[in-house]
Amino acid sequence: MHITDILVTGEPIIYAAMVSIALVTVAIVFLLTYFKKWGWLWREWLTTVDHKKIGIMYILSALAMLFRGGMDAMMMRVQLAFPNLGFLDSQHYNEIFTTHGTIMIIFMAMPFLIGLMNIIVPLQIGARDFAFPYLNALSFWSFFFGAMLFNISFVIGGSPDAGWTSYTPLSGAAMSPGPGQNFYLMGLQLSGIGTLATGINLMVTILKMRAPGMKLFHMPIFTWSTLVTCFIIVFAFPILTVALALLTIDRIFGSQFFTLTGEGLPMMWANLFWMWGHPEVYIVILPAFGIFSEVIATFAKKRLFGYNAMVWSMIIIALLSFLVWVHHFFTMGAGAFVNSVFSVSTMLIAVPTGVKIFNWLATLYKSKIEFTVPMLWSLSFIPSFILGGVTGVMLGMAAADYQFHNSYFLVAHFHYVLIAGTVFACFAGLVFWYPKMFGHKMNERIGKWAFWLFFAGFHVCFFPQYFLGLDGMPRRLFITNIAEWLPLNIISTVGAFGMGLGFAVFVYNIYYSYRYSERETTGDSWNGNGRTLEWATTTPVPFYNFATVPYVDEIDPYVRMKEEGKTTFDETKLKPIHMPSYTGQPIIMMSFLGLASFGLIFEWIPVAIAGLIGGVVMMIVRSFDYDDGYYVSVEEIKRIERKARGL
Amino acid sequence: MASSKKGIPKNHVIGFILSLVMTVAAAWAAIRSDLPVTWVIIGIMVLALLQAGVQLFMFMHVIEAGSGGGHVPWNMMFHGFALAAILVAGSLFTMSFGFDHGDHGGGSGGGDEQFEEQPEEHAGH
Ligand code: HEM
Ligand SMILES: [Cu+2]
């Protein structure tokens, strides 16, 4: 086999991408070597099991993926606004919308939220790390290698081109030969392992490691949203795992689960995909709801209105999310009765969602709102998300969906919920908790610029798409030079570039704040408005989080602590702290499984077997690993705490 | 954590090997063996039950007493069964339409009434 057999050749854009990838890699290697940072990188980051560092790596990767997915989006928008330019050909366009959708949902939205959960949940419940820190590192690396595998597809082997839904029979071996679709299957499978493990890990952490006295109904709402999300993950992801495995066996080993021949059932893929897929959209929205609730309560300076109703509505949403999947293929033709059942269950979800909206409004009612950047993201979420939710209910009416389905109306709907919901929440949460992670805030003035650009760009981009949909423009279409559509398409593209600019300003703000922001001196960064335990820790957060774990028996415990002039720290109660040791095993194990996946993608079975053997060997090594961690001595804790608290 | 007891965790090793053997046996029965289809299906089902047993008893603590929040394994198994029920019943409910291959033998499910209104759709099968 020759190297040019697997590299994608003959495309100027791809050559440019290859050159830029090579340049960036060389630059990184050079910088690391020049500043002698290899050892630091390995010791402090690649082998870490600290939930705060793993969270930061998740968020950095997610931002990189947001950039990659955003570039895809820009290219599509250019093509749609200037269809006669011949910027992309149809094959390219198919590959780009496929990677855009997959990357944004699987490798951007979920890792971003999981990153925030990683950092914040243990701090909110008074825990010193995850229940299984080693497993947490494993999860991160499985996501990371899955994402890298998926991303190299466009220079090596060719990208998948059957949509992020990868419907069979199109995505089967007969109609999509070659490695492209395998990249999709193996990338998702590998990172799915990590997601599932994180679901279990966080669930155990929340159920078993809360501060003494903290009942479930004392937990901060973001922690609650994480717990509910974990249940959805644990029950939904196995369905995806099985569906991906069946399609992989179809494609690589010639079975006929989803094929047109041999009594295969192509629509069964759609059925299984959406049994996971609909819960998946709630996996990315519930944590977002949690973040908005925290931000709104903090800057309205009030306890969240209707805490219990908020929790129960999340639980009901989680249950219902498993009962609506057919609304994604009403047009399959299962019949009026089946469609009616799922139409009703779909519209039911709007009820608990509405409850949440009214609770946020009631929290804001008659409060003294402080318009910080996280609060701006959260406030603008409410009206924007309502537009997405209402159009969702319209799509949920089966008869009407025969018109809306797969038109730009649908595209506008899911971008309104995913961007105004999930992406706004990621930005809100990152800015809100930024001082906890890096010891300084993000600049407010630049942050507001980023917000307004992104917010305006978002509406200019996606609002016209509702009307494009009503005018009959189908999704996933590459030739759009139809006179009636052109003006709205151009407006939409202008909005997309506005969002791009907003993102660029956001990233610039990270650099600017690193250089110029004031360093935090207290842990309660937002003018002393913190309500939950994460604000009770010092900044920077010591690696063991809490020197002494406080007793908690109410919602928003830090509010009362501050009134009574107390802290979580009680020097008389110090005991040695048991912490897990760092280890290089997770990254090594997952790179072997990454190699195995790579082998399967190109159907090089010996490579796949070699990778698998490596993975199993690493598992055996782990099974006989008796490293029980180490203890931090009382003297050392005292020294760290006194310095941090200025005692 | 099982930090106090070093040495080989016998139960886990046996369980691991058993589960591998059963997986390979199932794959062999389906791909290589010449058994009649009914027997293959029965065999796989039995293996699946045994497999679940190995997982539950040798790895997943079903025999341990419950802790504070109720008996966790039973709790999760209940949820697991509920999900499996939704998955199987739901798939049958939504996917069994138009499968009577034109000879009007079986075929049940939501779609039937609809298809009777358009008999010409069946003709070609
Ligand atoms: C009030 C709540 C919601 C309702 C009633 C609703 C309803 C629907 C319906 C009926 C469809 C299918 C339309 C079609 O294919 O013709 C759909 C698609 C979609 N929805 Fe929603 N939705 C809601 C909320 C959400 C949320 C919160 C998210 C994610 C954050 C979301 C993400 C999506 C996505 C990604 C798709 C399109 C998937 C695809 O075909 O590629 N939805 N929604
Ligand atoms: Cu859905």
Q: Report the percentage of chain A scoring pLDDT > 90.
A: 81
**Separation of CA A304 from chain center:** 25
pLDDT in tens, A104-116: 999 999 999 999 9
Q: Both tokens of residue A3? A: 């190297």
Residues that place a CB less than 5 A from ion ligand 2:
A 278
pLDDT of residue B34: 86
- Tell whether B90 lies on the interface with A, counting CB pairs under 8 A: yes
The answer, yes or no, to whether the previous bond of A169 is cis (omega within 30 of 0) is: yes
Chain A residue numbers with beta carbons less than 8 Å from the beta carbon of B79 are 231, 235
Which member of B69, B83, B98 has the closest CB to residue A235? B83
Ligand 1 pocket test: which of A225, A327, A345 has the largest number of ligand atoms within 8 Å of its C-beta? Answer: A327
pLDDT of residue B1: 40
Q: CB–CB of A239 and B87 under 8 A?
A: yes
Looking at the fold, whether B14 and B55 belong to one and the same domain comes out as yes
Q: CB–CB of B97 and A335 under 8 A?
A: yes
Looking at the fold, whether B88 and B49 belong to one and the same domain comes out as no
Write down the residue that tokens 């009007």 correspond to.
Answer: B104
Evaluate: CB of A441 within 6 angstroms of ligand 1: no
Q: CB–CB of B114 and A335 under 8 A?
A: yes
Q: Is residue B125 part of a domain?
A: no
Q: Is residue B34 part of a domain?
A: yes
Give the pLDDT band (50/70/90) at residue A134: very high
Q: How many angstroms away from the CA of A337 is the closest CA of chain B?
A: 6
pLDDT of residue B9: 76
- Between B77 and A315, whose confidence is greater? A315
Which member of B12, B69, B110 has the closest CB to residue A334? B110
Which member of B1, B80, B111 has the closest CB to residue A628? B1
Q: CB–CB of A334 and B113 under 8 A?
A: no
Cα B111 from Cα A117, distance rounded (Å): 44
Kindly report the pTM of this predicted structure.
Answer: 0.92
Q: Is the pLDDT of residue A483 over 90?
A: no
pLDDT in tens, A490-513: 999 999 999 999 999 999 999 999
Chain B residue numbers with beta carbons less than 8 Å from the beta carbon of A333 are 97-98, 111, 114
**Separation of CA A300 from chain center:** 27
pLDDT of residue A391: 96
Q: Both tokens of residue A90? A: 């149809």
Evaluate: CB of A435 within 6 angstroms of ligand 1: no
pLDDT of residue A498: 97
The answer, yes or no, to whether the previous bond of A606 is cis (omega within 30 of 0) is: no
| B101 to chain A: closest CA residue | A263
**Separation of CA B31 from chain center:** 18
User: Average pLDDT in the B17-37 region?
Assistant: 90
pLDDT in tens, A378-396: 999 999 999 999 999 999 9
Give the pLDDT band (50/70/90) at residue A436: very high
Evaluate: CB of A422 within 6 angstroms of ligand 1: yes
pLDDT of residue A479: 78
Cα of A373 vs centre of ligand 2, distance in Å, is: 31
> Do residues B28 and B3 lie in contact, with contact meaning Cβ atoms separated by under 8 Å?
no
Looking at the fold, whether B23 and B51 belong to one and the same domain comes out as yes
Chain B residue numbers with beta carbons less than 8 Å from the beta carbon of A326 are 94
Looking at the fold, whether B42 and B73 belong to one and the same domain comes out as no
Cα A92 from Cα A430, distance rounded (Å): 33
pLDDT of residue B113: 42
Looking at the fold, whether B82 and B55 belong to one and the same domain comes out as no
Cα A343 from Cα A95, distance rounded (Å): 32
pLDDT of residue B118: 43
pLDDT in tens, A589-646: 999 999 999 999 999 999 999 999 999 999 989 988 888 899 999 999 999 998 888 8
In 3-state terms, what secondary structure has residue B34?
coil
DSSP for B52-98?
HHHIIIIIS-TTSPPBTTB-HHHHHHHHHHHHHHHHHHHHHHHH-SS
Q: Is residue B120 part of a domain?
A: no
Q: Is the pLDDT of residue B24 over 80?
A: yes
Q: Is the pLDDT of residue B123 over 50?
A: no
Chain A residue numbers with beta carbons less than 8 Å from the beta carbon of B95 are 265, 267-268, 271, 334
pLDDT of residue B42: 94
What's the domain count of chain B? 2
Evaluate: CB of A280 within 6 angstroms of ligand 1: no
> Do residues A162 and A176 lie in contact, with contact meaning Cβ atoms separated by under 8 Å?
yes
Give the pLDDT band (50/70/90) at residue A333: confident
Looking at the fold, whether B79 and B49 belong to one and the same domain comes out as no
Number of Cβ within a 10 Å radius of residue A503: 20
Q: How many angstroms away from the CA of A181 is the closest CA of chain B?
A: 25
pLDDT in tens, A528-557: 899 999 999 998 899 999 999 999 999 999
pLDDT of residue B68: 63
Q: How far lies A72's CA from each of A69, A329, A488, in Å?
A: 5, 26, 20
Q: Is the pLDDT of residue A298 over 60?
A: yes
Looking at the fold, whether B46 and B29 belong to one and the same domain comes out as yes
A507 φ, ψ (degrees, to nearest 5): -70, -40
> Do residues A563 and A577 lie in contact, with contact meaning Cβ atoms separated by under 8 Å?
no
Write down the residue that tokens 């129960």 correspond to.
Answer: A312
Looking at the fold, whether B91 and B56 belong to one and the same domain comes out as no
pLDDT in tens, A230-264: 999 999 999 999 999 999 999 998 899 999 998 89
pLDDT of residue B125: 38
pLDDT of residue B6: 62
Looking at the fold, whether B49 and B15 belong to one and the same domain comes out as yes
Q: Is residue B105 part of a domain?
A: no
Q: Is residue B123 part of a domain?
A: no
In 3-state terms, what secondary structure has residue A154?
coil
Q: Is residue B80 part of a domain?
A: yes
> Do residues A284 and A113 lie in contact, with contact meaning Cβ atoms separated by under 8 Å?
yes
- Between B76 and A427, whose confidence is greater? A427
Q: Is the pLDDT of residue A36 over 90?
A: no
A439 φ, ψ (degrees, to nearest 5): 80, 5
pLDDT of residue B98: 63
- Radius of gyration (Cα) for chain B, nearest Å? 22
Looking at the fold, whether B25 and B48 belong to one and the same domain comes out as yes
Q: CB–CB of A207 and B69 under 8 A?
A: yes
Q: How many alpha carbons lie under 13 Å from residue B3 in its C-beta half-sphere? A: 7
Q: Is residue B111 part of a domain?
A: no
Q: Which residues of A touch B (CB under 8 A)?
A: 207, 231, 235, 239, 265, 267-268, 271-272, 275, 322-323, 325-326, 333-338, 341-342, 623, 626, 628
Lowest mean pLDDT, pick from A3-17, A154-168, A355-369, A561-575: A3-17
> Do residues A590 and A145 lie in contact, with contact meaning Cβ atoms separated by under 8 Å?
yes
pLDDT in tens, B74-122: 888 888 899 999 999 999 999 887 655 544 444 444 444 444 444 444 4
ipTM higher than the 0.90 cut: no
Which member of B80, B87, B94 has the closest CB to residue A334? B94
Write the residue with the smallest CA distance to atom 37 of ligand 1: A414
Residue B87: domain span: 69-98
Q: CB–CB of A626 and B3 under 8 A?
A: yes
Evaluate: CB of A230 within 6 angstroms of ligand 1: no
CA angle (A634 as vertex; A628, A636 as ends), nearest 5: 90
Q: Is residue B117 part of a domain?
A: no
